[in-house]
């Protein structure tokens, strides 16, 4: 019966790994998006998405990393958590349109891999 316990453990680990990969598929990273004090990150991200003709359901938006007073000029990436991986795929397909807009020339989208 010990062999069955090991198999159950391996199965649990495999399910957990697949679940984590699927969750990361719902994430989108945005690089080069300027950072302002008191910013409404969700509203600004929605505005970006609207400029490429998309209006996906965003679960959460957070800046990744920390800043110090010395590094106030650095721009931290934004992690956007979507409700579906299909929305991430659609945005990545249309992200090239952003570079044609003056305000977003330095903004790049990337999957969270």
- The tens place of each residue's pLDDT in the chain, 113 residues long, gives 555 555 788 888 777 777 666 677 788 888 888 877 777 888 888 888 887 778 888 888 888 887 666 666 678 888 888 888 888 888 888 877 777 777 777 777 777 76
pLDDT value at residue 3: 53
pLDDT value at residue 63: 87
* Residue indicated by tokens 């110090």: 68
pLDDT value at residue 40: 82
pLDDT value at residue 64: 85
Are residues 75 and 33 in contact, defined by beta-carbon separation less than 8 angstroms? Answer: yes
> What's the Cα-to-Cα distance from 63 to each of 17, 36, 94, 102, 113, rounded to whole Å?
25, 11, 22, 23, 17
Q: What is the DSSP letter of 3?
A: H
Are residues 40 and 100 in contact, defined by beta-carbon separation less than 8 angstroms? Answer: no
């Amino acid at each position: 019966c010990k062999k069955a316990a090991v198999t159950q453990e391996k199965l649990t680990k495999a399910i957990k790994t697949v679940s984590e990969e699927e969750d990361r598929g719902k994430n989108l990273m945005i690089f080069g998006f300027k950072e302002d004090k008191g910013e409404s990150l969700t509203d600004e991200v929605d505005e970006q998405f609207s400029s490429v003709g998309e209006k996906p359901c965003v679960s959460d938006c957070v800046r990744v990393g920390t800043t110090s007073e010395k590094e106030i000029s650095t721009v931290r990436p934004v992690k956007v958590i979507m409700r579906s991986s299909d929305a991430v795929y659609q945005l990545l397909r249309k992200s090239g349109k952003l570079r044609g807009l003056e305000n977003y020339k330095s903004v790049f989208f990337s999957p969270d891999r």
